[in-house]
Structure 1
Protein backbone atom coordinates (compact mmCIF):
# COMPACT_ATOMS: atom_id res chain seq x y z
CA UNK A 1 0.00 0.00 0.00
CA UNK A 2 1.30 3.44 -0.93
CA UNK A 3 1.31 6.24 1.62
CA UNK A 4 0.28 9.68 0.50
CA UNK A 5 3.28 11.98 0.89
CA UNK A 6 2.86 14.85 3.29
CA UNK A 7 4.05 18.08 1.75
CA UNK A 8 5.78 20.68 3.92
CA UNK A 9 4.02 23.92 4.78
CA UNK A 10 4.12 26.48 1.99
CA UNK A 11 4.31 30.25 2.42
CA UNK A 12 4.02 33.00 -0.17
CA UNK A 13 7.16 35.13 -0.12
CA UNK A 14 8.35 38.19 -1.99
CA UNK A 15 11.41 37.46 -4.14
CA UNK A 16 12.96 38.87 -7.29
CA UNK A 17 11.58 42.37 -6.85
CA UNK A 18 7.80 42.33 -6.77
CA UNK A 19 7.20 38.63 -7.50
CA UNK A 20 5.36 36.54 -4.94
CA UNK A 21 6.35 32.88 -5.08
CA UNK A 22 5.36 29.81 -3.05
CA UNK A 23 8.24 28.58 -0.86
CA UNK A 24 8.65 25.86 1.74
CA UNK A 25 8.46 27.47 5.20
CA UNK A 26 11.22 25.26 6.59
CA UNK A 27 14.16 24.90 4.27
CA UNK A 28 17.94 24.80 4.47
CA UNK A 29 19.65 28.15 4.83
CA UNK A 30 21.85 27.50 1.79
CA UNK A 31 22.47 24.93 -0.92
CA UNK A 32 25.33 23.31 0.99
CA UNK A 33 22.85 22.32 3.71
CA UNK A 34 20.50 20.41 1.37
CA UNK A 35 22.42 17.14 1.29
CA UNK A 36 23.38 16.97 5.00
CA UNK A 37 19.81 17.72 6.08
CA UNK A 38 18.31 15.13 3.72
CA UNK A 39 20.98 12.63 4.82
CA UNK A 40 20.02 13.16 8.46
CA UNK A 41 16.30 12.71 7.75
CA UNK A 42 16.11 9.98 5.11
CA UNK A 43 19.57 8.49 4.44
CA UNK A 44 18.32 5.46 2.50
CA UNK A 45 15.76 7.24 0.31
CA UNK A 46 16.53 7.88 -3.34
CA UNK A 47 18.43 11.12 -3.84
CA UNK A 48 19.08 10.72 -7.57
CA UNK A 49 17.56 8.52 -10.24
CA UNK A 50 18.93 8.39 -13.78
CA UNK A 51 17.65 5.61 -16.00
CA UNK A 52 18.14 2.39 -14.04
CA UNK A 53 20.70 3.96 -11.69
CA UNK A 54 19.57 4.99 -8.22
CA UNK A 55 21.63 6.69 -5.54
CA UNK A 56 20.46 7.05 -1.95
CA UNK A 57 21.32 10.14 0.07
CA UNK A 58 23.88 8.04 1.94
CA UNK A 59 25.53 6.83 -1.29
CA UNK A 60 25.40 10.33 -2.76
CA UNK A 61 27.09 11.78 0.31
CA UNK A 62 29.82 9.11 0.11
CA UNK A 63 30.46 9.82 -3.58
CA UNK A 64 30.49 13.58 -2.99
CA UNK A 65 33.05 13.07 -0.20
CA UNK A 66 35.33 10.98 -2.41
CA UNK A 67 35.13 13.42 -5.31
CA UNK A 68 35.68 16.40 -3.00
CA UNK A 69 38.80 14.67 -1.64
CA UNK A 70 40.02 14.11 -5.20
CA UNK A 71 39.43 17.74 -6.13
CA UNK A 72 41.22 18.86 -2.95
CA UNK A 73 44.16 16.62 -3.89
CA UNK A 74 44.30 18.55 -7.19
CA UNK A 75 44.63 21.77 -5.19
CA UNK A 76 41.00 22.92 -5.35
CA UNK A 77 39.95 25.04 -2.39
CA UNK A 78 37.54 27.79 -1.43
CA UNK A 79 36.96 30.27 -4.24
CA UNK A 80 38.64 28.16 -6.95
CA UNK A 81 36.76 27.40 -10.16
CA UNK A 82 36.04 23.87 -11.39
CA UNK A 83 34.91 23.72 -15.02
CA UNK A 84 32.46 20.94 -15.87
CA UNK A 85 31.64 19.71 -19.35
CA UNK A 86 29.21 16.95 -18.41
CA UNK A 87 25.79 15.92 -19.63
CA UNK A 88 22.68 15.59 -17.50
CA UNK A 89 23.71 12.66 -15.36
CA UNK A 90 24.49 11.65 -11.79
CA UNK A 91 28.17 12.55 -12.11
CA UNK A 92 27.25 16.18 -12.85
CA UNK A 93 25.30 16.47 -9.59
CA UNK A 94 28.08 14.72 -7.63
CA UNK A 95 30.72 17.09 -9.01
CA UNK A 96 28.65 20.22 -8.34
CA UNK A 97 28.01 19.14 -4.74
CA UNK A 98 31.68 18.18 -4.24
CA UNK A 99 32.77 21.55 -5.58
CA UNK A 100 30.40 23.36 -3.24
CA UNK A 101 31.55 21.23 -0.31
CA UNK A 102 35.04 22.67 -0.80
CA UNK A 103 33.70 26.22 -1.08
CA UNK A 104 34.74 26.26 -4.73
CA UNK A 105 32.69 27.46 -7.69
CA UNK A 106 31.26 25.06 -10.29
CA UNK A 107 31.47 26.41 -13.85
CA UNK A 108 29.17 24.30 -16.03
CA UNK A 109 29.95 24.54 -19.75
CA UNK A 110 27.88 23.43 -22.73
CA UNK A 111 28.69 19.90 -23.91
CA UNK A 112 28.09 21.02 -27.51
CA UNK A 113 30.45 24.00 -27.59
CA UNK A 114 33.33 24.39 -30.03
CA UNK A 115 37.08 24.51 -29.43
CA UNK A 116 37.11 28.33 -29.56
CA UNK A 117 34.11 28.50 -27.19
CA UNK A 118 35.82 26.24 -24.68
CA UNK A 119 39.09 28.15 -24.99
CA UNK A 120 37.31 31.43 -24.24
CA UNK A 121 35.19 30.03 -21.37
CA UNK A 122 38.11 28.23 -19.70
CA UNK A 123 40.38 31.25 -19.98
CA UNK A 124 37.72 33.69 -18.83
CA UNK A 125 36.59 31.56 -15.88
CA UNK A 126 40.06 31.02 -14.47
CA UNK A 127 39.21 27.36 -13.85
CA UNK A 128 41.82 25.46 -11.88
CA UNK A 129 40.43 22.04 -12.89
CA UNK A 130 38.40 20.76 -15.84
CA UNK A 131 36.22 17.63 -15.69
CA UNK A 132 34.77 16.60 -19.05
CA UNK A 133 33.00 13.88 -20.98
CA UNK A 134 35.40 11.66 -22.98
CA UNK A 135 33.82 12.59 -26.32
CA UNK A 136 34.53 16.30 -25.75
CA UNK A 137 38.31 15.82 -25.73
CA UNK A 138 38.75 16.41 -29.46
CA UNK A 139 37.05 19.84 -29.18
CA UNK A 140 39.13 21.06 -26.23
CA UNK A 141 41.96 23.57 -26.69
CA UNK A 142 45.50 22.22 -26.71
CA UNK A 143 46.98 21.11 -23.40
CA UNK A 144 48.82 24.40 -22.78
CA UNK A 145 45.47 26.19 -22.60
CA UNK A 146 43.78 23.69 -20.29
CA UNK A 147 43.51 23.94 -16.52
Structure 2
Protein backbone atom coordinates (compact mmCIF):
# COMPACT_ATOMS: atom_id res chain seq x y z
CA UNK A 1 0.00 0.00 0.00
CA UNK A 2 1.49 3.36 -1.01
CA UNK A 3 1.88 6.58 0.94
CA UNK A 4 1.12 10.15 -0.15
CA UNK A 5 4.70 10.83 -1.17
CA UNK A 6 4.61 7.85 -3.51
CA UNK A 7 1.24 8.93 -4.85
CA UNK A 8 2.66 12.35 -5.71
CA UNK A 9 5.79 10.83 -7.25
CA UNK A 10 3.73 8.47 -9.42
CA UNK A 11 1.56 11.32 -10.71
CA UNK A 12 4.66 13.36 -11.60
CA UNK A 13 6.10 10.36 -13.43
CA UNK A 14 2.91 9.73 -15.42
CA UNK A 15 2.08 13.36 -16.27
CA UNK A 16 5.38 15.30 -16.28
CA UNK A 17 4.26 17.86 -18.87
CA UNK A 18 0.77 18.47 -17.46
CA UNK A 19 0.16 21.77 -15.75
CA UNK A 20 0.10 21.04 -12.03
CA UNK A 21 -0.33 24.56 -10.69
CA UNK A 22 -1.57 27.80 -12.23
CA UNK A 23 -0.86 30.86 -10.09
CA UNK A 24 -1.38 34.37 -11.40
CA UNK A 25 0.58 34.36 -14.72
CA UNK A 26 2.73 31.37 -13.76
CA UNK A 27 2.19 27.75 -14.84
CA UNK A 28 4.16 24.96 -13.15
CA UNK A 29 4.18 21.49 -14.70
CA UNK A 30 4.46 18.28 -12.68
CA UNK A 31 8.11 17.77 -13.65
CA UNK A 32 9.08 21.16 -12.26
CA UNK A 33 6.92 20.70 -9.17
CA UNK A 34 8.55 17.34 -8.49
CA UNK A 35 12.03 18.89 -8.62
CA UNK A 36 10.98 21.71 -6.31
CA UNK A 37 9.54 19.25 -3.80
CA UNK A 38 12.73 17.18 -3.88
CA UNK A 39 14.94 20.24 -3.40
CA UNK A 40 12.98 21.43 -0.36
CA UNK A 41 12.82 17.91 1.07
CA UNK A 42 16.62 17.77 0.79
CA UNK A 43 16.90 21.12 2.55
CA UNK A 44 14.63 19.89 5.34
CA UNK A 45 16.97 16.97 5.85
CA UNK A 46 20.00 19.27 6.06
CA UNK A 47 18.15 21.12 8.84
CA UNK A 48 17.82 17.86 10.73
CA UNK A 49 14.16 17.21 9.94
CA UNK A 50 13.50 13.50 10.15
CA UNK A 51 10.56 11.14 9.86
CA UNK A 52 7.84 12.13 12.31
CA UNK A 53 9.16 15.67 12.85
CA UNK A 54 6.75 18.57 12.34
CA UNK A 55 6.98 21.50 9.91
CA UNK A 56 4.38 24.24 10.31
CA UNK A 57 3.00 25.92 7.18
CA UNK A 58 1.28 29.28 7.59
CA UNK A 59 0.72 30.02 3.94
CA UNK A 60 -2.15 31.05 1.64
CA UNK A 61 -3.01 29.27 -1.60
CA UNK A 62 0.32 29.67 -3.36
CA UNK A 63 2.77 27.28 -5.05
CA UNK A 64 5.02 27.29 -1.98
CA UNK A 65 2.24 25.74 0.12
CA UNK A 66 2.02 22.77 -2.25
CA UNK A 67 5.80 22.40 -2.44
CA UNK A 68 6.24 22.50 1.35
CA UNK A 69 3.30 20.13 1.93
CA UNK A 70 4.64 17.41 -0.34
CA UNK A 71 8.26 17.97 0.73
CA UNK A 72 7.15 17.04 4.25
CA UNK A 73 5.24 13.98 3.06
CA UNK A 74 8.09 12.75 0.88
CA UNK A 75 10.49 12.40 3.82
CA UNK A 76 7.92 11.24 6.37
CA UNK A 77 7.67 14.56 8.20
CA UNK A 78 4.29 15.91 9.32
CA UNK A 79 2.84 19.05 7.69
CA UNK A 80 1.11 21.21 10.31
CA UNK A 81 -1.16 23.50 8.29
CA UNK A 82 -2.05 26.76 10.04
CA UNK A 83 -4.51 29.54 9.36
CA UNK A 84 -2.75 32.58 7.88
CA UNK A 85 -4.88 34.80 10.14
CA UNK A 86 -3.37 33.30 13.30
CA UNK A 87 -2.31 35.97 15.78
CA UNK A 88 1.06 35.81 17.62
CA UNK A 89 -0.82 34.60 20.72
CA UNK A 90 -2.55 31.83 18.76
CA UNK A 91 0.62 30.99 16.88
CA UNK A 92 2.55 30.61 20.12
CA UNK A 93 0.14 27.92 21.30
CA UNK A 94 -0.06 26.13 17.93
CA UNK A 95 3.69 25.90 17.41
CA UNK A 96 4.35 24.82 20.98
CA UNK A 97 1.52 22.28 21.01
CA UNK A 98 2.53 20.74 17.69
CA UNK A 99 6.28 20.61 18.54
CA UNK A 100 7.04 22.07 15.11
CA UNK A 101 10.77 22.50 14.46
CA UNK A 102 10.33 24.47 11.22
CA UNK A 103 8.00 27.39 10.52
CA UNK A 104 7.26 28.44 6.93
CA UNK A 105 5.40 31.62 6.02
CA UNK A 106 5.42 34.71 3.82
CA UNK A 107 7.96 37.50 4.47
CA UNK A 108 5.16 39.89 5.43
CA UNK A 109 4.01 37.54 8.21
CA UNK A 110 7.36 36.80 9.86
CA UNK A 111 6.88 39.55 12.44
CA UNK A 112 4.23 37.43 14.17
CA UNK A 113 6.78 34.66 14.63
CA UNK A 114 9.62 36.95 15.67
CA UNK A 115 7.46 38.30 18.52
CA UNK A 116 7.18 34.83 20.08
CA UNK A 117 10.36 33.13 18.88
CA UNK A 118 12.11 33.20 22.25
CA UNK A 119 9.20 31.30 23.79
CA UNK A 120 9.55 28.46 21.27
CA UNK A 121 12.86 26.64 21.85
CA UNK A 122 11.84 23.68 19.66
CA UNK A 123 10.94 25.81 16.62
CA UNK A 124 14.47 26.57 15.47
CA UNK A 125 14.08 27.29 11.77
CA UNK A 126 12.19 30.07 9.98
CA UNK A 127 11.77 29.84 6.21
CA UNK A 128 9.94 32.33 4.01
CA UNK A 129 8.49 31.88 0.54
CA UNK A 130 11.50 33.84 -0.74
CA UNK A 131 13.77 31.24 0.86
CA UNK A 132 11.74 28.44 -0.70
CA UNK A 133 12.07 29.91 -4.19
CA UNK A 134 15.83 30.16 -3.75
CA UNK A 135 16.14 26.64 -2.34
CA UNK A 136 13.98 24.99 -4.99
CA UNK A 137 15.85 26.70 -7.83
CA UNK A 138 19.31 25.75 -6.57
CA UNK A 139 18.85 22.15 -5.45
CA UNK A 140 20.35 19.61 -4.87
CA UNK A 141 17.45 17.37 -5.70
CA UNK A 142 18.56 13.99 -4.30
CA UNK A 143 16.95 12.87 -1.04
CA UNK A 144 17.05 9.88 1.27
CA UNK A 145 13.50 8.60 1.54
CA UNK A 146 12.76 6.61 4.70
CA UNK A 147 10.28 3.77 4.93
CA UNK A 148 6.87 5.38 5.38
CA UNK A 149 3.94 3.18 6.38
CA UNK A 150 0.30 3.96 5.53
CA UNK A 151 -0.50 4.45 9.21
CA UNK A 152 2.32 6.94 9.76
CA UNK A 153 1.17 10.52 10.49
CA UNK A 154 1.09 12.85 7.48
CA UNK A 155 -0.78 16.05 8.32
CA UNK A 156 -1.86 17.82 11.51
CA UNK A 157 -4.80 20.23 11.29
CA UNK A 158 -6.14 22.22 14.20
CA UNK A 159 -9.87 22.34 14.87
CA UNK A 160 -11.95 24.20 17.43
CA UNK A 161 -11.51 22.55 20.80
CA UNK A 162 -14.31 21.81 23.28
CA UNK A 163 -12.21 23.32 26.07
CA UNK A 164 -11.51 26.57 24.23
CA UNK A 165 -8.07 25.52 22.99
CA UNK A 166 -7.70 24.24 19.40
CA UNK A 167 -7.12 20.51 19.10
CA UNK A 168 -4.74 19.01 16.55
CA UNK A 169 -6.28 16.28 14.38
CA UNK A 170 -3.52 13.93 13.25
CA UNK A 171 -4.30 12.41 9.85
CA UNK A 172 -2.31 9.49 8.49
CA UNK A 173 -1.20 8.77 4.94
CA UNK A 174 -3.89 6.11 4.75
CA UNK A 175 -6.58 8.46 6.08
CA UNK A 176 -5.87 10.93 3.29
CA UNK A 177 -5.43 8.24 0.64
CA UNK A 178 -9.09 7.30 1.22
CA UNK A 179 -9.92 10.83 0.05
CA UNK A 180 -7.49 11.37 -2.82
CA UNK A 181 -9.29 9.15 -5.40
CA UNK A 182 -12.75 10.62 -4.75
CA UNK A 183 -12.59 13.21 -7.52
CA UNK A 184 -11.96 10.37 -9.97
CA UNK A 185 -14.20 7.66 -8.57
CA UNK A 186 -17.21 9.85 -7.77
CA UNK A 187 -16.84 12.71 -10.28
CA UNK A 188 -15.06 10.88 -13.16
CA UNK A 189 -12.23 13.43 -13.18
CA UNK A 190 -9.15 12.90 -15.32
CA UNK A 191 -5.90 14.67 -16.18
CA UNK A 192 -7.72 17.25 -18.34
CA UNK A 193 -9.66 18.65 -15.38
CA UNK A 194 -8.93 22.05 -13.83
CA UNK A 195 -9.99 22.86 -10.28
CA UNK A 196 -10.29 26.36 -8.86
CA UNK A 197 -8.72 26.57 -5.39
CA UNK A 198 -10.31 29.48 -3.56
CA UNK A 199 -10.89 27.96 -0.11
CA UNK A 200 -7.62 27.69 1.84
CA UNK A 201 -5.43 24.63 1.49
CA UNK A 202 -4.73 24.82 5.22
CA UNK A 203 -8.31 23.58 5.73
CA UNK A 204 -8.93 19.87 5.19
CA UNK A 205 -11.69 20.47 2.60
CA UNK A 206 -9.42 22.74 0.56
CA UNK A 207 -6.48 20.33 0.74
CA UNK A 208 -8.50 17.29 -0.37
CA UNK A 209 -10.91 18.89 -2.83
CA UNK A 210 -8.44 21.23 -4.48
CA UNK A 211 -5.03 19.58 -4.09
CA UNK A 212 -4.93 15.86 -3.29
CA UNK A 213 -7.96 15.05 -5.46
CA UNK A 214 -6.76 16.69 -8.68
CA UNK A 215 -3.18 15.56 -8.11
CA UNK A 216 -4.31 11.95 -7.87
CA UNK A 217 -5.36 12.12 -11.54
CA UNK A 218 -2.70 14.54 -12.85
CA UNK A 219 -5.16 17.42 -13.19
CA UNK A 220 -4.42 21.13 -12.74
CA UNK A 221 -5.01 23.33 -9.70
CA UNK A 222 -5.71 27.01 -10.35
CA UNK A 223 -4.62 28.80 -7.17
CA UNK A 224 -6.24 32.00 -5.96
CA UNK A 225 -4.66 33.64 -2.91
CA UNK A 226 -7.22 36.46 -2.73
CA UNK A 227 -10.27 37.07 -4.84
CA UNK A 228 -13.46 38.92 -5.62
CA UNK A 229 -16.50 37.53 -7.40
CA UNK A 230 -15.41 39.27 -10.59
CA UNK A 231 -11.94 37.74 -10.37
CA UNK A 232 -13.46 34.29 -9.82
CA UNK A 233 -15.61 34.60 -12.94
CA UNK A 234 -12.67 35.98 -14.94
CA UNK A 235 -10.49 33.07 -13.84
CA UNK A 236 -13.14 30.49 -14.72
CA UNK A 237 -13.36 31.97 -18.20
CA UNK A 238 -9.62 32.46 -18.74
CA UNK A 239 -8.36 29.15 -17.30
CA UNK A 240 -11.31 27.02 -18.47
CA UNK A 241 -11.98 25.80 -14.93
CA UNK A 242 -13.76 22.44 -14.87
CA UNK A 243 -14.98 22.27 -11.29
CA UNK A 244 -15.10 24.25 -8.04
CA UNK A 245 -15.15 22.78 -4.54
CA UNK A 246 -15.96 25.56 -2.08
CA UNK A 247 -18.25 26.77 0.70
CA UNK A 248 -21.93 27.74 0.20
CA UNK A 249 -21.27 31.46 0.52
CA UNK A 250 -19.20 31.47 -2.68
CA UNK A 251 -21.88 29.75 -4.76
CA UNK A 252 -24.61 31.97 -3.31
CA UNK A 253 -22.50 34.99 -4.23
CA UNK A 254 -22.15 33.68 -7.78
CA UNK A 255 -25.92 33.34 -8.09
CA UNK A 256 -26.53 36.91 -6.94
CA UNK A 257 -23.63 38.53 -8.81
CA UNK A 258 -25.13 41.14 -11.13
CA UNK A 259 -22.34 40.74 -13.72
CA UNK A 260 -22.40 36.95 -13.88
CA UNK A 261 -24.00 36.92 -17.33
CA UNK A 262 -21.00 38.77 -18.77
CA UNK A 263 -18.73 35.75 -18.32
CA UNK A 264 -18.38 32.43 -20.10
CA UNK A 265 -18.55 29.63 -17.55
CA UNK A 266 -19.34 26.86 -20.02
CA UNK A 267 -16.15 24.98 -19.06
CA UNK A 268 -17.65 24.14 -15.64
CA UNK A 269 -18.84 20.54 -15.41
CA UNK A 270 -19.94 20.45 -11.77
CA UNK A 271 -19.46 22.13 -8.39
CA UNK A 272 -19.26 20.74 -4.85
CA UNK A 273 -20.37 22.65 -1.77
CA UNK A 274 -19.36 21.82 1.78
CA UNK A 275 -18.02 23.29 5.00
CA UNK A 276 -21.48 24.38 6.14
CA UNK A 277 -25.08 23.74 5.12
CA UNK A 278 -26.23 25.12 1.78
CA UNK A 279 -29.78 26.56 1.86
CA UNK A 280 -31.64 23.93 -0.21
CA UNK A 281 -33.35 26.45 -2.51
CA UNK A 282 -29.98 27.54 -3.94
CA UNK A 283 -29.13 24.10 -5.38
CA UNK A 284 -31.69 24.31 -8.24
CA UNK A 285 -31.14 28.09 -8.58
CA UNK A 286 -27.45 27.55 -9.28
CA UNK A 287 -28.17 24.95 -11.94
CA UNK A 288 -30.85 27.11 -13.53
CA UNK A 289 -28.55 30.14 -13.73
CA UNK A 290 -25.33 28.46 -14.87
CA UNK A 291 -26.42 25.10 -16.27
CA UNK A 292 -24.02 23.44 -13.81
CA UNK A 293 -24.81 20.67 -11.34
CA UNK A 294 -24.12 21.64 -7.71
CA UNK A 295 -23.92 18.78 -5.21
CA UNK A 296 -23.47 18.95 -1.45
CA UNK A 297 -21.18 16.95 0.80
CA UNK A 298 -20.54 16.49 4.49
CA UNK A 299 -17.37 15.96 6.45
CA UNK A 300 -15.24 16.97 9.39
CA UNK A 301 -11.54 17.51 9.83
CA UNK A 302 -11.19 14.40 12.02
CA UNK A 303 -12.51 12.33 9.09
CA UNK A 304 -10.00 13.70 6.56
CA UNK A 305 -12.69 15.30 5.90
CA UNK A 306 -15.19 13.83 3.39
CA UNK A 307 -17.75 11.39 4.76
CA UNK A 308 -20.56 11.70 2.22
CA UNK A 309 -21.31 13.57 -0.98
CA UNK A 310 -24.04 13.81 -3.59
CA UNK A 311 -23.41 11.78 -6.72
CA UNK A 312 -23.36 13.31 -10.19
CA UNK A 313 -25.08 10.24 -11.65
CA UNK A 314 -27.96 10.27 -9.15
CA UNK A 315 -30.94 12.61 -8.73
CA UNK A 316 -30.00 15.72 -6.76
CA UNK A 317 -31.97 16.09 -3.53
CA UNK A 318 -31.54 19.67 -2.21
CA UNK A 319 -30.80 19.62 1.50
CA UNK A 320 -29.24 16.15 1.35
CA UNK A 321 -25.54 15.54 2.10
CA UNK A 322 -25.51 12.62 -0.31
CA UNK A 323 -24.48 9.04 0.37
CA UNK A 324 -21.42 7.80 2.28
CA UNK A 325 -18.21 7.54 0.30
CA UNK A 326 -16.72 4.06 -0.30
CA UNK A 327 -15.41 2.54 2.93
CA UNK A 328 -17.49 4.74 5.24
CA UNK A 329 -20.36 3.54 7.40
CA UNK A 330 -22.85 6.12 8.70
CA UNK A 331 -25.78 5.68 11.04
CA UNK A 332 -28.10 7.89 13.06
CA UNK A 333 -28.65 6.98 16.72
CA UNK A 334 -30.70 8.24 19.65
CA UNK A 335 -29.34 9.37 23.02
CA UNK A 336 -28.94 5.73 24.12
CA UNK A 337 -26.91 4.77 21.06
CA UNK A 338 -29.72 2.82 19.39
CA UNK A 339 -29.91 3.13 15.62
CA UNK A 340 -32.96 5.04 14.41
CA UNK A 341 -35.19 4.12 11.46
CA UNK A 342 -35.21 6.10 8.24
CA UNK A 343 -36.44 9.63 8.90
CA UNK A 344 -35.44 9.59 12.56
CA UNK A 345 -33.66 12.60 14.05
CA UNK A 346 -30.59 11.93 16.15
CA UNK A 347 -26.80 11.95 16.23
CA UNK A 348 -24.77 11.01 13.15
CA UNK A 349 -21.99 8.46 13.76
CA UNK A 350 -19.22 7.90 11.20
CA UNK A 351 -16.90 4.89 10.95
CA UNK A 352 -14.25 4.23 8.31
CA UNK A 353 -10.61 4.31 7.28
CA UNK A 354 -10.90 8.08 6.80
CA UNK A 355 -11.31 8.69 10.55
CA UNK A 356 -8.22 9.93 12.41
CA UNK A 357 -6.28 7.73 14.81
Question: What TM-score comes out, normalization by structure 2 length?
Answer: 0.32
User: Out of 30, 53, 69, which is 1:96 matched to?
Assistant: 69
Aligned length: 120
Contact persistence 2:88–2:116 (CA under 8 A):
no
Residue matched to 2:91: 118
Which ranges of 4 or more aligned residues in structure 1 deviate by more than 6 Å?
none
Structure 1 position 71 matched with structure 2 position 71: no
Larger fraction in helix: 1
Aligned counterparts, 1:30-41, within 5 A: 30-41=3-14
State the structure with bigger RCO (CA 8 A, min sep 6), 1 or 2: 1
Please tell me whether Structure 1 or Structure 2 has the larger radius of gyration of its CA atoms. Answer: 2
Aligned counterparts, 1:132-143, within 5 A: 132-140=105-113, 141-143=115-117
Contact persistence 2:16–2:29 (CA under 8 A):
yes
Contact persistence 1:35–1:57 (CA under 8 A):
no
Deviation at 1:80, TM superposition (A): 0.1
Deviation at 1:120, TM superposition (A): 0.2
Residue matched to 1:144: 118
Structure 1 position 59 matched with structure 2 position 39: no
Per-residue displacement from partner, 1:24-51 (whole Å, max 9, x unpaired)? xxxx843222222122212111111112
- Aligned counterparts of 1:87 and 1:135: Cα–Cα separation in 2: 12
Q: Secondary structure at the match of 2:100?
A: coil
Deviation at 1:75, TM superposition (A): 0.6
- Aligned counterparts of 1:53 and 1:34: Cα–Cα separation in 2: 24
- Aligned counterparts of 1:88 and 1:59: Cα–Cα separation in 2: 18
- Aligned counterparts of 1:52 and 1:121: Cα–Cα separation in 2: 34
Q: Secondary structure at the match of 1:128?
A: strand
- Aligned counterparts of 2:117 and 2:97: Cα–Cα separation in 1: 16
Per-residue displacement from partner, 1:45-99 (whole Å, max 9, x unpaired)? 1111112111111100100011001111111110000011111100000000000
Residue matched to 2:56: 83
- Aligned counterparts of 1:145 and 1:61: Cα–Cα separation in 2: 35
Aligned counterparts, 1:15-26, within 5 A: none
Cα RMSD of the aligned pairs, angstroms, is 1.4
Q: Secondary structure at the match of 2:118?
A: helix
Contact persistence 1:45–1:56 (CA under 8 A):
yes
- Aligned counterparts of 2:16 and 2:86: Cα–Cα separation in 1: 37
Contact persistence 2:4–2:74 (CA under 8 A):
no
Contact persistence 2:37–2:67 (CA under 8 A):
yes
Deviation at 1:138, TM superposition (A): 2.0
